[in-house]
Amino acid sequence: MAGVDTPDLYGGVDTAAFGVPDTAGGETYLYAWGWTARRALQETLTDASVRIEVVDGATPAVDDFPPTVEYDNVVVAYVSADTQDANDAAVNRALLRDGLARATDTDHPRRTTFSETMEAAQDASRGLWDTNTDLSAP
């Protein structure tokens, strides 16, 4: 999804990008939030009609582990679902608003809005920005 990065579930966690210590504890913390983000997406998108708005010229955020796909074939998009307001990029922004993802620094038309949404979640200590929350991962 354009402009958002959730913690990875299968290795390659960039702890510095999320501002957590580069330790086993930091990786475990992000792993738990990765599963939380996945569950939130499943709840939002299951049985929903989804609208995809491809962002021309945007490149995917590249993780630090070997890719399993050719990035030339990756489509970067804003996603909206009928389970939300008809707001453009509602799914992308919901992940940021709820503290389930960070805004990326890749260039796209809603970059400023996404950064502001993430900063509001950080200021409110929502989601992964609340280090006092007890977490569990599957």
Q: Round to whole Å and give the CA distance between 105 and 99.
A: 17
Confidence of residue 118 (pLDDT cuts 50, 70, 90): very high
Angle (CA) 123-126-127 rounded to 5° is 140
Q: Round to whole Å and give the CA distance between 78 and 113.
A: 13
Amino acid at 94: A
Q: What is the pLDDT of residues 43-78, one digit of tens each?
A: 989 988 998 888 876 665 655 444 555 555 677 889
Domain boundaries, the chain: 4-129
Amino acid at 52: I
The CA dihedral of 71, 53, 96, 49, to the nearest 10 degrees, is -110
Q: Round to whole Å and give the CA distance between 52 and 90.
A: 11
Q: Which range among 26-30, 86-90, 110-114 shows the weakest confidence by mean pLDDT?
A: 86-90
The pLDDT of residue 117 is 97
